[in-house]
Amino acid sequence: MKVFRLKKNLKNQITSLKKAQKSIGFVPTMGALHQGHLALVKASLKDNEVTVVSIFVNPTQFDNPDDLNKYPRTFETDLALLQNLSDDIIVFYPDAQDFYDGQVASQSFDFDGLELEMEGKHRPGHFDGVGTVVKKLFEIVQPDRAYFGEKDFQQLQIIKKLVEKEQIPVDIIPIPIYREADGLAMSSRNKRLTTEHRAAAPYIYQVLKQAKTLFAYKNIEDVKEFVTNAMTAHPLLKLEYFEIADEKTLKPAKQKIAGNKYRGFIVVYAGDVRLIDNIQL
Ligand code: PAF
């Protein structure tokens, strides 16, 4: 397996692959890989001749320095997991200074308002950081297809908007949320849960599933109230927000409009670990 640290070396490799007309699939990650990431990698391996996986805890997308410092970093285990899938995967493991040419800062983006909702409100600057890193990664890797998980559904919609606005020639492939057997959405942050909080966390998906059932016959305010009450009643989990939004615009929905698709978006703290999840309603 080839591991590149410097972007100029990876760019040279990509130039050779492009000359040989190889199709390139790309899975951007922040490492601490789990089965959810591996599902993206497997999809890429199936669709493309070459798969590039980036492992980079991107500093510009963290609004909270503590979250950045505590983000799990498990590079050797990540490599072993990838190696297990295929020896041909190209890993990009950039150094922040080289990647950002010594200026670790975000560009500012207008994602037509998608960036102002939910995570945008609660994590100021987060989507500028994501847009900056993903745009740069796309410039270096020049993938034909790039794979993103639906767990970060707002991020997925923002990446689609980025590609549309910046006219980047890449197909964005969404991959459904990968869950533990007990329903907890897989996340690198799950590694930081205490035993107690890990045992409590599947409650989030149980509540989301109940919300989905209620959504079929209740109005939006009632469903939101149900989720708020159910989460408030839990002694170990702390609701940051629950929102029902239109899948396309991500604007909070007030009432159901026939033909529109809605999702429930939730963020919950389990101790100091911020967990995010969503469900199609
Ligand atoms: O979803 C993530 O892991 C990150 O936001 C991404 C897309 C790799 C950008 O750093």
Domain with CATH 3.40.50.620 in the chain: 2-175
pTM for this model (two decimals)? 0.96
Report the pLDDT value the prediction gives residue 121, as an integer from 0 to 100: 96
CATH dotted code for 188-280: 3.30.1300.10
Report the pLDDT value the prediction gives residue 248, as an integer from 0 to 100: 95
Give the tens place of pLDDT for each residue, 130-148.
999 999 999 999 999 999 9
Architecture of domain 2-175: 3-Layer(aba) Sandwich (3.40)
Report the pLDDT value the prediction gives residue 280, as an integer from 0 to 100: 98
Strands of 50-55's sheet in order across? 2-4, 90-92, 50-55, 24-29, 145-149, 171-175
Q: Is the CB of 58 under 6 A from ligand 1?
A: yes
Report the pLDDT value the prediction gives residue 207, as an integer from 0 to 100: 98
Taking the centre of ligand 1 as the mean of its atom positions, its distance from the CA of residue 216, in whole angstroms, is 33
In the structure encoding, which two tokens stand for residue 25, read together? 């699939």
Report the pLDDT value the prediction gives residue 107, as an integer from 0 to 100: 96
Report the pLDDT value the prediction gives residue 276, as an integer from 0 to 100: 98
Which residue's structure tokens are 């919609």? 157
Report the pLDDT value the prediction gives residue 165, as an integer from 0 to 100: 97
Closest approach atom of ligand 1 to CA 29: 8
CB 82 within 8 A of CB 33: yes
Following DSSP, what letter does each residue of the chain receive, concatenated? -EEE-SHHHHHHHHHHHHHTT--EEEEEE-S---HHHHHHHHHHHHH-SEEEEEE---GGG-S-HHHHHHS---HHHHHHHHHHH-TT-EEE---HHHHTTT---------TTGGGSTHHHHSTTHHHHHHHHHHHHHHHH--SEEEEEGGGHHHHHHHHHHHHHTT---EEEEEPPPB-TTSPBP-GGGGG--HHHHHHTTHHHHHHHHHHHHHTTS-HHHHHHHHHHHHHT-SSEEEEEEEEEETTT-PBPSS--TT--EEEEEEEEETTEEEEEEEE-
Q: Is 37 a catalytic residue?
A: yes
CB 52 within 8 A of CB 86: no
**pLDDT above 90 covers what percent of the chain?**
99
Report the pLDDT value the prediction gives residue 135, as an integer from 0 to 100: 98
What is the Cα–Cα distance from 198 to 77, expressed in whole angstroms?
Answer: 21
Taking the centre of ligand 1 as the mean of its atom positions, its distance from the CA of residue 61, in whole angstroms, is 9
Beta bridge partners of 14: none
Catalytic pick among 34, 37, 126, 197: 37
Which residue owns the Cα nearest ligand 1 atom 8? 29
Beta bridge partners of 230: none
Those residues of the chain that have pLDDT short of 50 are none
Domain with CATH 3.30.1300.10 in the chain: 188-280
Which residue owns the Cα nearest ligand 1 atom 2? 29
